[in-house]
Amino acid sequence: MPTTSHTIALYPDLPLTLSEAGTGRPVLILHGGGGPATVAGLVDHLAQTGHAIAPTHPGWDGTDRPGWFTGIDDLALAYLHYLHDRQLSDVLVIGSSLGGWTAAEMAVRDNAGIITGLVLIDPVGVHVETEPTRDFFALDARGVAEYSWHNSDRFYVDPADIPAGQLALRQGNMATMRVLAGDPYMHDPKLAHRLARVDLPTLLLWGESDRIVTPAYGAAYAAAFGNARLQIIPEAGHLPQIEQPGATFALIDAYMRQTSTATVKAQ
């Protein structure tokens, strides 16, 4: 499926880089801290049946981030403004990890009813007292692999083997993530209280082996919504769309068939 990439001026001082492919129902796909590459396969898959829109969060992969842009709420509002400016409707928003947190923040702010579907893949964003989020910033590369993947040996990459330019981008991504989500660490203290107002049929997908945010954390997250269900994906960690793409895509495809403007209004 042909993909086009372009940059728009969302605000006068905020350029936004997006990739788009396919036609049909708009699907906004939000990446996590690992950058756009972590959702590339998902974008390719969804472009076969919908209009896949994949932004690069400002500050990731060398893109510009203005100094005032310092929180996940800034991301959420920016993407809602983008959807509004494009006059899009019946939008499915899918977010992975930090992108899932962003998607949840969008849902609690979507007073116009633009979003009609919500899929969160191992999201961060809430505080669960009994299931603390792993301190990602304190982990070395081996630790990140051990806590993030079901099969860590398959996905571990020695930083010494990463080209200098790519390593610099990764370090820049981490620095941006620290600004947007480092304090308070990986959550919005108010979000869990607000999620009960989100009555969209929401699907949370969770890798069974995720030790960054555990499936028990996912269960608490799902319970905070007004209308959500949790689906566990075996033999997957924090990024099931990479580790178990077939199972992940099948669950999203089924969800897409069940949600539309018509079905949401009928509930």
Confidence of residue 267 (pLDDT cuts 50, 70, 90): very low
The gap from C-alpha 86 to its chain's centroid, in whole angstroms, comes to 21
Query: Cβ neighbours of residue 73 under 8 Å, at least 6 residues apart?
Result: 105, 188
Tell me the pLDDT tens digit for each residue of 169-187: 999 999 999 999 999 999 9
Residue range(s) defining the domain that contains residue 80: 4-266
Query: Cβ neighbours of residue 93 under 8 Å, at least 6 residues apart?
Result: 27, 28, 30, 103, 106, 107, 115, 117, 118, 119
Say if residues 72 and 14 touch (Cβ distance below 8 Å). no
Indicate which CATH number applies to the domain containing 90. 3.40.50.1820
pLDDT of the residue at 261: 57
pTM of the model: 0.96
pLDDT of the residue at 75: 98
Tell me the pLDDT tens digit for each residue of 49-100: 999 999 999 999 999 999 999 999 999 999 999 999 999 999 999 999 999 9
Share of the chain above pLDDT 90, in %: 95
Tell me the pLDDT tens digit for each residue of 108-157: 999 999 999 999 999 999 999 999 999 999 999 999 999 999 999 999 99
H helix or E strand, kind and range, residue 220: helix 215-224
Res 265 pLDDT > 60: no
Query: Cβ neighbours of residue 260 under 8 Å, at least 6 residues apart?
Result: 25, 90, 116, 117
- Mean pLDDT over each residue of the chain, to the nearest integer: 95
Number of domains forming the structure of the chain: 1
H helix or E strand, kind and range, residue 91: strand 91-96
DSSP-derived pairing of the beta strands 51-56 and 228-233: unpaired
Share of the chain above pLDDT 70, in %: 97
* Phi-psi group of 61: left, alpha or beta (phi > 0 → left; psi -120 to 50 → alpha; rest → beta): left
Res 266 pLDDT > 50: no
What's the whole-number mean pLDDT along residues 221-230? 97
Res 263 pLDDT > 70: no
Res 27 pLDDT > 70: yes
Res 199 pLDDT > 60: yes
Angle at which helices 98-109 and 164-181 cross, to 10° = 40
* Measured distance CA(100)–CA(30) in Å, rounded: 7
* Tokens encoding 108: 């609690």
